[in-house]
């Protein structure tokens, strides 16, 4: 049986490149963009996913937007908390479920 080598990167290699470590809040974070409908127009929102208990060994040390003092909005994204960086206060996305109890069947 022959062993095949993969040209694709493994999950660990991708995580080391994308996930950063913030010394200010002592957490690992991952910059992401999500698509959300605001006033019936689909827009891309820039923000972060934070990981509290995540190994920081080998991660690039970089201060996150929350520690820099940028205003953030917490959004529910498929059951995860997305920290949206607020750039325009007049055009905020609605957050239907975050912080509320869902009464879905």
Amino acid 104: pLDDT: 45
pTM of the shown model: 0.73
- Per-residue pLDDT tens for 30-47? 999 998 877 788 888 999
Unique residue bearing structure tokens 């690992």: 28
What is the residue extent of each domain of the chain? 16-85
Distances (CA, A) of 33 to 23, 26, 82: 23, 22, 10
Q: What is the pLDDT along the chain (105 residues), one digit of tens a residue?
A: 566 666 666 777 777 889 999 999 999 999 999 988 777 888 889 999 999 888 888 889 999 999 999 998 888 888 888 998 888 777 677 665 555 555 544
Amino acid 10: pLDDT: 75
Distance CA 72, CA 45 (A): 12
Show Cβ contacts of residue 77 under 8 Å, excluding neighbours closer than 6 positions. Answer: 34
Buried b (16+ CB within 10 A) or exposed e, 7-23: eeeeeeeebeeebbbbe
């Amino acid at each position: 049986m022959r062993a095949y080598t993969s040209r694709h990167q493994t999950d660990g290699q991708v995580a080391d490149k994308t996930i950063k470590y913030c010394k200010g809040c002592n957490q690992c974070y991952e910059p992401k963009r999500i698509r959300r409908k605001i006033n019936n127009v689909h827009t891309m929102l820039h923000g972060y996913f934070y990981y509290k208990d995540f190994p920081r060994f080998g991660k690039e040390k970089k201060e996150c937007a929350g520690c820099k003092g940028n205003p953030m909005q917490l959004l529910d994204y498929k059951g995860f908390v997305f920290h949206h960086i607020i750039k325009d206060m007049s055009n905020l996305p609605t957050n239907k479920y975050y912080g509320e109890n869902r009464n879905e069947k």
